[in-house]
Amino acid sequence: MDFINETLNWCKGEVFEGKMSLLFGLFILLISLAYFKWGSTPGARAMFLPLLVIAILTISAGIYLVSTNQKRMPRYEIQFKENPQQFLESEKKRTADFIRWYPITQKIFFGVMILGMLFLLLSHAPNIRAIGIALMLLSFYVFVLDHFSEERATLYYSKIVEHSLN
């Protein structure tokens, strides 16, 4: 199997992840609009804007993942055909560079999750509590997104190393 197929499979996984982000964002958008239309308590009314922001962020991430990776696939095929060894080395460096970010992202969003919990637990103001819930939801989204992205990146990196040795 040519290495380019590994790269294309990785890109397809990123596209799938982007589509899941889009679906999640659209679902959160619908929930946000439902709170706006039918929310009758101060807490329910306060949920609209924080959920709307989360929806916009996740939809944007989804659009970015889908469009970027769909554009990368033909470009990667051309680069691989021109110089397979150089392509392999550039992918090895690029992948190693972003794999380093996963633990940092996890620590940051662990802090965001704790902040959201503190907002929820220590305040009785509806807007602060709604922001806390939204921060926890955003953290959950990032943890899930990063989990599958890190898994796919690690597998891809191992394939790069395997092909480098051959």
Question: What would the pLDDT profile of 14-71 be if each residue is shown by its tens digit?
Answer: 999 999 999 999 999 999 999 999 999 999 999 999 999 999 999 999 999 999 999 9
Directed axis angle between helix 84-99 and helix 101-122, to 10°? 30
Does the predicted model carry a pTM greater than 0.85? yes
Q: Which of 164, 8, 9, 165 minimizes the C-alpha distance to 88? A: 164
Q: In this predicted structure, what is the pLDDT of residue 165?
A: 80
- Report the pLDDT value the prediction gives residue 164, as an integer from 0 to 100: 82
pLDDT at 1 over 70: no
Q: What is the mean pLDDT of residues 110-130?
A: 98
Give the span between the Cα atoms of 166 and 164, in whole angstroms: 6
